Structures are given as C-alpha cells and as structure tokens.
C-alpha cells in the first residue's frame, strides 16, 4: 500500500495535479456571480423564467458543472500534456513572448477569434464536425448555460485548438493558466446565450451581443448559415454571414435531426448520424452550411 501511495504521489507531481486542482477551485468563484447578475437582467427584461424549470435546462446545468470549472480541460488534456511536456518542447512557438503584454494579448484575441470564426463555419459545413456540434444546437429553450452544452468530442477539439495550439504552443501559456482562461471564455459565451435583447449599441458590428448570437441558434430557415463570430461580430460583416437587422427569432433548435433530449441521446446521436450518413449517402444528411466544401 505504501508503495502504491508513493507511486500515485509521483504521478500527481508529474502531472502537477495540485496546482491544477487549486486553479479549478479558485476559478469556480468567478462565473456564478456573473451569471446570477445576468439572470436578474433577464427577468427584468421580461424573459420567460420557465425555461429554467425544464429538463433541457437541467441537462445544460450538468454540462456546466463538467466544463465550466475546467474539469474536462484539466483531466482530458492538461494533465496528459504535463506528463509528456518534456517531449513537446520543440513544438513551442510563442512568437508573442517578446512583445509587450498588451500587444501580445491584442494579437491573441484578434488572431485567435479569427481562427475560431472559421473553425465555427467549418463545424457547420463538415459532416463529421457538424454531427457533434449539432448537440449544442439541439437546445430549444436557450439559457445562460446553453453555452456549455457540447458533446465531449466537440469540446476536446475546441480544447486542442484553443488551449493546446493557441494558448500553449503559440502564446506559451502554462497549463495552470488554462482554467482561468477557460472560465473567461465560457463566461463570455454564457452572456451571448442570455435571453437579452442587447445590441451593445454602436459596438453591434464589432462585438457579439446576445441579440446577434440568438440568430445563430434560430431554427428558422432564413437565419441559417449566419452569425458565426465568437467575440467579434466584425468577421460576419466582413465575410457576408451576418443576419440583417430584423425581429428576434421565435423558434430555436434543430430541424432535420432527431435527437432525444437526454444525456444519452446527446452522446449517442452524433455517432448514429455519422453511421447513417456513411451508409445511406448524402441524401440522409441534414442541410448544413454549404459555403465551405466538406
């Protein structure tokens, strides 16, 4: 038993488990106060509070607790990376390390958001990526926590893109700094899913507002293939994917995909879709964005 404990201690030290757990616990304190404040704004703005009494919302909460504190990022990626980091030093790019911090941060947010915009468009055009991204769009009662409704395969792909490639390799951010960044990213994303008719005034064509992102989740055909931006709505206006000013959508969710509103349904349906599309051909594929060749 003593030998086993010693071995486990060595492993915990190798993967820096202690500092990762402390980072998670500290970062959990930030988003919940923010989300409570936004919820009060929703009520004041006349949003339907019954959305928070549905089974759909319960599932969003489960996703929130899995993802928002960084648990998934820590155990699925950061710990593995810490264990093999000494073998990956040759991949470190970090071109912004020599720049002043404000300059490097600005380059990161603009450049990183540009990458995420195109990745998001690819998620809607590539069959494999869309199968898993469709879980996020299955929510018919959009809430603050819908931002966390993502299939583990999609979440892992986003973590590899954001945390491993952009944060770690390009910026050189150590894994202990991933959790605060994860909380910041998901807090911003939560605000975008709030039921608030906020446009951000003259910044509407610069920053993604709750109103702007609402059209991306619309199930109405006239809103398809639009509003992909994460932080900056500018990309959509530049590349012609922004929805023109009009009343908010009246219907959210998915058309053309049968997905049971259950955690098991969310996990299994993407694999079922891929199997169907592979064996039945393109005729079985729901209509997705066609502006990029899959």
The residue assigned the tokens 């932080």 is: 231
Considering the entire predicted model, what is its pTM? Answer: 0.79
Greater pLDDT, 8 or 126: 126
* Residue 36 CB contacts under 8 Å (≥ 6 apart), including other chains: none
Write down the pLDDT at residue 189: 86
Query: Using one digit for the tens of pLDDT, what is the confidence trace for 88-113?
Result: 565 555 566 666 656 766 777 788 88
Query: Using one digit for the tens of pLDDT, what is the confidence trace for 144-200?
Result: 889 889 999 998 888 777 777 776 676 666 666 666 667 777 788 889 999 999 999
Give yes or no for residue 138 having a pLDDT over 90. yes
What are the percentages of helix, strand and coil residues in the chain, rounded to 5?
65, 0, 30
Write down the pLDDT at residue 165: 73
Alpha-carbon distance 97 to 39, whole Å? 38
Write down the pLDDT at residue 292: 40
On average, the pLDDT of the chain sits at: 80
Write down the pLDDT at residue 104: 66
Query: Using one digit for the tens of pLDDT, what is the confidence trace for 198-248?
Result: 999 999 999 999 999 999 999 998 898 899 999 999 999 999 999 998 999
Alpha-carbon distance 223 to 155, whole Å? 25
Write down the pLDDT at residue 269: 95
**Over residues 18-42, mean pLDDT:** 71
Alpha-carbon distance 116 to 3, whole Å? 46
Q: Of 199, 162, 175, nearest to 17 (Cα)?
A: 175
- The widest CA-to-CA distance across the chain, in whole angstroms, is 67
Query: Using one digit for the tens of pLDDT, what is the confidence trace for 253-263?
Result: 988 888 999 99
Write down the pLDDT at residue 34: 76
Give yes or no for residue 114 having a pLDDT over 80. yes
State the CB neighbour count (10 A cutoff) for residue 259: 18
Give yes or no for residue 119 having a pLDDT over 50. yes
């Amino acid at each position: 038993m003593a030998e086993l404990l010693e071995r486990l201690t060595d492993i915990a030290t190798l993967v820096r488990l202690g500092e990762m757990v402390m980072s998670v616990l500290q970062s959990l304190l930030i988003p919940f106060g923010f989300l409570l404040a936004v919820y009060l704004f929703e009520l004041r703005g006349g949003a339907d509070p019954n959305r928070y009494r549905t089974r759909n919302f319960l599932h969003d909460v489960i996703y929130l607790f899995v993802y928002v504190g960084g648990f998934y990022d820590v155990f699925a990626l950061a710990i593995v990376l810490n264990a093999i980091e000494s073998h990956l030093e040759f991949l470190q790019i970090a071109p912004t390390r020599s720049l002043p911090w404000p300059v490097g941060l600005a380059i990161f947010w603009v450049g990183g958001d540009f990458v995420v915009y195109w990745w998001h468009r690819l998620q809607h055009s590539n069959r494999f990526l869309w199968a898993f991204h469709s879980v996020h769009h299955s929510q018919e009662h959009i809430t603050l926590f819908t931002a966390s409704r993502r299939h583990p395969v999609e979440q892992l792909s986003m973590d590899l893109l954001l945390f491993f490639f952009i944060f770690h390799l390009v910026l050189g951010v150590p894994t202990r700094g991933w959790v605060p960044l994860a909380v910041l990213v998901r807090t911003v994303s939560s605000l975008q899913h709030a039921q608030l008719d906020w446009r951000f005034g003259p910044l509407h064509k610069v920053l993604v507002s709750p109103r702007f992102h609402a059209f991306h989740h619309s199930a109405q055909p006239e809103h398809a293939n639009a509003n992909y931006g994460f932080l900056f709505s500018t990309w959509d206006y530049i590349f012609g994917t922004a929805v023109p000013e009009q009343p908010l959508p009246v219907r959210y969710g998915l058309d053309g995909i049968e997905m049971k509103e259950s955690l098991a349904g969310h996990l299994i349906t993407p694999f079922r879709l891929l199997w169907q599309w592979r064996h039945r051909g393109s005729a079985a594929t729901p209509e997705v964005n066609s502006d990029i060749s899959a």
